[in-house]
Amino acid sequence: MNTTRLTGVVLFALTSSVIAQTATYQLYGEGCNGAAPANCLTLNDLNPTHQLASLPNEYAYPVINTTGLDIQVIGFEIYTTTNTGITETGKTGLIWDLSGPTATVHTRPDPTNIANGTITVANAAGWYSTALTPPIVVPAGVAFWFHVDAYSRIAPPQHTAAGGVAGPTQNWYRRPNNNMVWTASVSVARQIFRIHCVPATPAVPYLTATGLPQFGQTLTLNVAGGVPNLPAFLVWALDNTQWFGQPTPVDLTAFGAPNCFNRTSTDEATFLVLDGSGAASSGSLIPNSPSLGGLAFFNQVAVLSPGTNTLGLLVGNAGAGVVGN
C-alpha cells in the first residue's frame, strides 16, 4: 500500500474558508461487470399499493435465488415512504441465512451483514434504491435476506392485503431494546422489492474505505474485484454532479463500456497495480489543519478488464468524503 498526503488537487481547492465538520465517508452507486443489470428477483412490484406502518424496528426480508443461475447482487429497490414527513436516510444490507451461505430454505437471518449500503427515502410512496458493497455472489437456489433499518422513520415496504403476496417465509425484525436479536415478525408481510443483479462473473469492482478523513489521520481507500496483476485507477474529484460538462451519472456506452457509469468529475487519479487477488490499497494522510474542515471530495475506481468491453475497462462504486474531526 502506498501512503501520500491528501491529493494535491484537493488541497489546491482550499482557496476559501470552510466550516468545521465531523469527518464522514459514504459509499454510493453500483459498479458494473459489462452485463446489463436486471431486476432478477422481485415481489409485488407491478403497480404496488403501499400499506403504511410505523414500527421501531429494522427488518430482514426473505428471498430465494430462483433464477436458476448464480447471480451477483449489487443492490435493491423497495417501494416505501417515510413516516416522519421529511426525507430520511437509513442503513441497508444483505444477510446470509443463519444456517449458512448454501442454505436453500430460510431459518432466521444471520446476525451479521455480508454487504452494506444506505437508502434515502422521501415523504412520498415510490421506488427507492440502495447500492450494496461488496457485490455478493448468490448461487442458484440459495436463500438469503435483504435488510433495511426502519426504526419508525422509513416505513416497511409492505403491500396491502388486496393483491399482495407474501414472501417465502416470515419477515424478521430486531431493535436495540431487545438486544438486536432477530425475532419473527407477525405485523409486516407482503414485501415489495426488486433485487438488482448481474451475472456472477466477471466480478464487479468495488471501493471501500478504512478509517475516516480526520485531521492528522490516514484514510485508506481499498480497491477489490479487479483482474489480478493488472492496473487500476482511483479517481479523486471535487464534484460529483458533472463529468466534462455532462450531468452524472454519465453512461459510458459511447466510450466503449456499456452498462457502466461515471459518477464523479476526474480531477486527479492514483495509479495502482492490483495484487494476485485483484485488490490494492492507497492511503492518504489528512493534514492536521482545521482550515480543511468541511471539505467535500469524491472517489471512484476503474479497473482494466481486457476483452470485457471495447474500452477494456470496468468501473466500480463511488465514495463521498467530508474532512473533519
> Residue 122's CB: how many other CB atoms inside 10 A?
13
pLDDT at 290: 87
Bridge partners of residue 120, in order along the sequence: 89
pLDDT at 215 over 50: yes
- Residue 131: all three cell numbers together: 447500492
Task: Calculate mean pLDDT across residues 298-316.
Answer: 97
The count of C-alpha atoms lying within 13 angstroms of the C-alpha of 273, restricted to the half-sphere facing its C-beta, is 2
Q: What is the Cα–Cα distance from 154 to 84, expressed in whole angstroms?
A: 8
pLDDT at 7 over 70: no
Note the pTM of the prediction, 2 decimals.
0.92
Delineate the domains of the chain, giving CATH numbers in brackets: 2-34+202-322 (no CATH), 38-199 (2.60.120)
Integer-rounded Cα radius of gyration of the chain: 20
Q: What is the Cα–Cα distance from 147 to 254, expressed in whole angstroms?
A: 35
- pLDDT-based confidence at 178, cuts 50/70/90? confident
Q: What is the Cα–Cα distance from 225 to 168, expressed in whole angstroms?
A: 31
pLDDT at 183: 97
Share of the chain above pLDDT 90, in %: 90
pLDDT at 3 over 60: no
Task: Calculate mean pLDDT across residues 194-202.
Answer: 98
> Residue 127's CB: how many other CB atoms inside 10 A?
15
Bridge partners of residue 112, in order along the sequence: none
Residue by residue, DSSP assigns 145-207 as: EEEEE-TTTB---BB-TTT----SS--EEE-GGGTT--EE-SS--SB-EEEEEEES-SPPPEE
- pLDDT-based confidence at 177, cuts 50/70/90? confident
Q: How much is the mean pLDDT over the chain?
A: 94
* pLDDT tens digits, one per residue of 8-52: 555 545 444 455 689 999 999 999 999 999 999 999 999 999 999
